[in-house]
Amino acid sequence: GAVVSQHPSRVICKSGTSVKIECRSLDFQATTMFWYRQFPKQSLMLMATSNEGSKATYEQGVEKDKFLINHASLTLSTLTVTSAHPEDSSFYICSASQSGNQPQHFGDGTRLSIL
Amino acid sequence: ELKVEQNPLFLSMQEGKNYTIYCNYSTTSDRLYWYRQDPGKSLESLFVLLSNGAVKQEGRLMASLDTKARLSTLHITAAVHDLSATYFCAVDKETSGSRLTFGEGTQLTVNP
């Protein structure tokens, strides 16, 4: 149980392109979803927390107009990297929890490469 | 601000040896997690520790929690090559909506 599916697993695109990443909870309803970014050889950094039906809460230093998060249903959250540039290249990982105080279950991650 | 520190950050060990990874955190937390990450992969959950004195074991890995010292350890017994990976500890607080704070990670290499 508690499976989180993330899609796509790998994206390579040109600078200026907008990229959408999906995060789905397959066998549970996720009230809260989290988006992380991980640069090579570094730890996971939380970008934002999203609760179903409300606006995402972004961490300090994360541009909300660049990283658009939508959590329109209890099983789906999306992260859109708008007008991506090479410095946005990273490993993006989502996680989901059934409620605010339940453990997080992680997706398989999306490796984004901007040329 | 909650801070989580791991020690060591890099660990190279021989097969068959024992070693311990340490995880210190700065303020009280509700849960402590250990994760494994293989290169190019996402996180695999290893352990969740909830209370002082909690000890959990799975195969050659054993995790413990001392909430008074704000310290968790991940002990590796008789290491094998398959344990080579990066190990992260993380803590959260229910009052912060289970927002996780991660340690820097320990890159473990087990040599034949």
pLDDT at B67 over 80: yes
Residue-level pLDDT at B96: 67
What average pLDDT does range A86-101 have in this prediction? 91
Two structure tokens written together for B52: 């002082």
Q: Assess contact for B91 and B24: CB atoms under 8 A.
A: no
pLDDT at A100: 62
CB contact (8 A) between residue A102 and residue B98: yes
For B68-105, write each residue's pLDDT tens digit.
999 999 999 999 999 999 999 999 876 666 789 999 99
**Share of residues in chain A with pLDDT > 90 (%):** 84
pLDDT confidence of residue B97: 67
Give, in order, the Cα–Cα distances in Å from B109 to each of A92, B26, B105, B106.
24, 28, 13, 10
Is 80 exceeded by the pLDDT of residue A73?
A: yes
Residue of B nearest to A91 (CA): B40
Chain A and chain B share a number of CB contacts under 8 A equal to: 49
Q: CB neighbours of B100 closer than 8 A, spacing ≥ 6?
A: A34, A44, A46, A95, A104, B33, B90, B91, B92
Identify the band that residue B27 occupies on the pLDDT scale cut at 50, 70 and 90: confident
CA A103 to chain centre: 17
Give the DSSP letter string of A21-81: EEEEESSS--SEEEEEEE-TTS--EEEEEEETTSPPEEPTT--TTTEEEEEEETTEEEEEE
Residues 2-41 of B with CB under 8 A from A: 31, 33, 40-41
pLDDT at B24 (0 to 100):
96
The minimum CA-CA distance between A100 and chain B, rounded to whole Å, is: 4
Q: Which chain B residues are within 8 Å of A106, Cβ to Cβ? A: 42-43, 45
pLDDT in tens, A7-59: 999 999 999 999 999 999 999 999 999 999 999 999 999 999 998 888 899 99
